[in-house]
Amino acid sequence: MGLRSHHLSLGLLLLFLLPAECLGAEGRLALKLFRDLFANYTSALRPVADTDQTLNVTLEVTLSQIIDMDERNQVLTLYLWIRQEWTDAYLRWDPNAYGGLDAIRIPSSLVWRPDIVLYNKADAQPPGSASTNVVLRHDGAVRWDAPAITRSSCRVDVAAFPFDAQHCGLTFGSWTHGGHQLDVRPRGAAASLADFVENVEWRVLGMPARRRVLTYGCCSEPYDVTFTLLLRRRAAAYVCNLLLPCVLISLLAPLAFHLPADSGEKVSLGVTVLLALTVFQLLLAESMPPAESVPLIGKYYMATMTMVTFSTALTILIMNLHYCGPSARPVPAWARALLLGHLARGLCVRERGEPCGQSRPPELSPSPQSPEGGAGPPAGPCHEPRCLCRQEALLHHVATIANTFRSHRAAQHCHEDWKRLARVMDRFFLGIFFSMALVMSLLVLVQAL
């Protein structure tokens, strides 16, 4: 800054000492105008004829680029073009006296400039002004166009991440002048987006401007202008890389209830799905900005992992029902009537060859009969020497075999009832968990529309 001021002062000195004969007609008029205007001019005082008069400053902002949105530190970096216009009462002339010259361009450091700064600035560097020229018109109107890279604080709310929208305000105002001395007003209802370079992550919905009259603790009646940048996150990359895999995995998890129990892969599928969700949860934690509240996609992952955990636990319980051995007690009467009867018909769980909507009637377990209670050939005198009724030992063995077969058949029927009950529970929880996964996925995907 010291070297630049030295060069600028040297240039002005040379301009004053430059002979008029070295310039053209227009150059001589501009030099004469410059010498006349700045002969007794000072840039240290507010350029008004009356000290009680309010100086109006018009502020126009053009958004050029979103450089960075630091969600962790809640800092927004923008590239702006800022135009300020005001009227200088001491820089007026008659164009006819200077050959029709109605405007000149001079360094901005030569004229008084409003001390308009960004109130919510987020960096430690002191506010500085760009070394650009100002356009000075004959009626005293001054236009100052300057580029600026601003770092402003912005409260980022990621509760709906990755379908969130952010509202970031940029508040401009005078640092030392009150509202009665410097009245800052926006030009138009919003900032210009004509030269905006599209951002890959954020879509700009608008940048409305609003003039506010606030009273701060240091000053009375300061006027400021707030430009609110309306942003919406482009969620396509997050949907493809994080959300859709989770949706597909969550729809795959209930299919563990549809696998046959004899395949031995029911529990393995649930554990594999849970491990896959854990890996995606770690990837999500790396890309998700920190926040006080859990974002929407984080809630979806937690709900999906909870659902898969419960489905795996229920699968283990159903496997225990399926592998009940012959020593298990029979299915209770209420379970036989409610689950094997009504629920089995409603879910179309049927035996092979049985039509849908009809369930096999419950069978009573046959009770073994003792050899003495069984019906045998009529007793009576037998005159044949080789009659079978004489062979009591043989008849006793035959009755024992028959009772053993009846007991095995009863145990087999009991085991089949437990296996059928396991199939009914599988079909029931398949519908419940698949509906839950589908509803949760649709609720999250609707947010993207």
- 113-143 per-position pLDDT tens digit: 999 999 999 887 766 667 889 999 999 999 9
Question: What pTM was estimated for this model as a whole?
Answer: 0.72
Answer yes or no: is pLDDT of 362 > 80.
Answer: no
Q: Provide the strand spans (E) within 54-194.
A: 55-70, 75-87, 103-107, 116-118, 133-137, 141-153, 165-174, 182-186
In DSSP terms, 55 is beta-bridged to 182
Task: Please name the amino acid found at residue 97.
Answer: A
Q: Which residue has the tokens 């350029």?
A: 47
End-to-end CA distance of the chain: 52
Where exactly are the structural domains of the chain? 26-233, 238-344+396-448
Model confidence pLDDT, tens digit, residues 293-346: 788 888 899 999 999 999 989 988 888 877 776 666 777 778 777 777 777 777
Identify the pLDDT of residue 357.
54
Residues 396-429: pLDDT tens digits? 767 777 777 776 666 666 767 778 888 888 888 8
pLDDT recorded at residue 370: 44
Q: Which residue has the tokens 């896959």?
A: 276
Q: Which helix (H) or strand (E) holds 10?
A: helix 2-17
pLDDT score of 422: 81
Confidence of residue 191 (pLDDT cuts 50, 70, 90): very high
Torsion, Cα of 256, 260, 264, 266 (10° steps): 10
What's the Cα-to-Cα distance from 240 to each of 140, 252, 366, 394, 436, rounded to whole Å? 58, 17, 60, 77, 22
Mind listing the pLDDT tens digit for each residue in 135-178?
A: 999 999 999 999 999 999 999 888 888 888 999 999 999 888 88
Residue 86: pLDDT band with limits 50, 70, 90: very high
238-344+396-448 architecture in CATH? Answer: Up-down Bundle (1.20)
Q: Cα(91)–Cα(97) distance, rounded to whole angstroms? A: 14
- Distance, in Å, from the CA atom of 392 to the CA atom of 395, rounded to the nearest integer, reads 5
What distance separates the 2 farthest-apart alpha carbons in the chain? 165
Q: What is the CATH number of domain 26-233?
A: 2.70.170.10
Whether the CB-CB separation of 174 and 114 falls below 8 Å is answered with: yes
pLDDT per residue as tens digits for the range 267-301: 888 899 999 999 888 888 887 777 777 888 888 99
Please tell me the distance from the alpha carbon of residue 97 to that of residue 370, in angstroms, as a whole number: 139
pLDDT tens string 57-74: 999 999 999 999 998 889
- Residue 121 has what DSSP assignment? B
What pLDDT is recorded for position 426? 87
